[in-house]
Amino acid sequence: MMLHIPAVLTLDEVNYLRLRLEQTDWVDGKETVGAQGAQVKQNRQLPEHAAVSLELGEIVRAAVKRHPTFISAALPLRIVPPLFNAYAGGEHYGLHVDGAIRQIPNSTMTLRTDVSSTLFLCDPDEYDGGELEVVDSYGTHEVKLPAGDLILYPSTSLHQVRPVTRGVRVCSFFWSQSMIRDDARRTMLFEMDQSIQSLRMQLGDSAEVLSLTAQYHNLLRMWAET
C-alpha cells in the first residue's frame, strides 16, 4: 500500500527544520548505502550519527508517532531515527531497493525495514524534477508532495528519485519495522480500521461496531510480532 498522509508536520516545524538544515554540513549520500545503492545514488545527506541528525530526526519521529493515520497504516514496532537528504544540480537516486536490515544508531539493535517513509520539506514549486517513483505490480507511481506531507510505501518496492534540475529538494526519510510484516495484511488492517472509525462516527458504539472492533483486534493479535 502507498499512502499519502497530509500535514504530518506543521508549517512551523517545517520552517524550523529547514532553517536548521540550511546551517548544517551535508555529506555525500554514498556514505550511508550498500554496494548496489552506491552505484546509483547521487545526493547529500546529514551524517547518520551526528547530534544534529538525531535532534532533528526526533522532531519527525515524534510527529509521526502522534499521527493516528501513520500509526494505523504502518503499525510500527520500531522506527529508525529519521534521516535527511538534499538533491540539487541534477542529483538523483537511481532505481534501487532499500536494505532489509538496518542498524539503529548508537544501539546494538537492528530493525527490519517493512515500511519506507518520505516526508517532504519543500513545496513542489520550489524545484523541478525530484519525483519519488515507486514501482509495484500496479505500475509506477510518481510522488511529489507539499512540505509537511508524508508518503509511505512498502520497503519491498523498487524506487528512485528523479534528477532535480532546478532548486533544491530537501526531505526526511526513515524506515519502520511493522508489527505486521506482510504488506497485504497490513493493508487489510488499515482499511478495516479506517472503516470502523468511520462507522463509529456515524453510528456510535453500536453492537456491530463493537463486534468489528473486536475482530480487528483479534486479527492484530493473531498476526502481530511484538
Return the C-alpha cell found at 190: 488499515
Provide the minimum distance between the beta carbon of 18 and Ni ion in the complex, in angstroms, as a whole number.
Answer: 22
Provide the minimum distance between the beta carbon of 93 and Ni ion in the complex, in angstroms, as a whole number.
Answer: 7
Provide the minimum distance between the beta carbon of 153 and Ni ion in the complex, in angstroms, as a whole number.
Answer: 10
Tell me which residue has its CB nearest to Ni ion: 98
Backbone angles phi, psi at 36, to 5 degrees: -65, -45
Q: Which of 13, 98, 128, 133 binds Ni ion (CB under 5 A)?
A: 98
User: What does the alpha-carbon distance between residue 87 and residue 45 come to, in Å, rounded to a whole number?
Assistant: 9
CA geometry: angle at 107 spanning 104 and 108, to 5°?
A: 95
Return the C-alpha cell found at 101: 536490515
Q: With respect to Ni ion, which residue has the nearer C-beta, 35 or 51?
A: 35
Q: With respect to Ni ion, which residue has the nearer C-beta, 72 or 155?
A: 155
Provide the minimum distance between the beta carbon of 91 and Ni ion in the complex, in angstroms, as a whole number.
Answer: 14
Q: With respect to Ni ion, which residue has the nearer C-beta, 98 or 126?
A: 98
Q: With respect to Ni ion, which residue has the nearer C-beta, 69 or 160?
A: 160
Q: With CA atoms as reference, report the closest residue to 5 among 83, 85, 67.
A: 67
Q: With respect to Ni ion, which residue has the nearer C-beta, 174 or 190?
A: 174
In whole angstroms, what separates CA 204 from the centre of its chain? 32
Examine residue 133 and tell whether it contacts Ni ion (CB under 5 A).
Answer: no
User: What does the alpha-carbon distance between residue 173 and residue 60 come to, in Å, rounded to a whole number?
Assistant: 9
Question: Residues in the site for Ni ion, rule: CB under 5 A?
Answer: 98
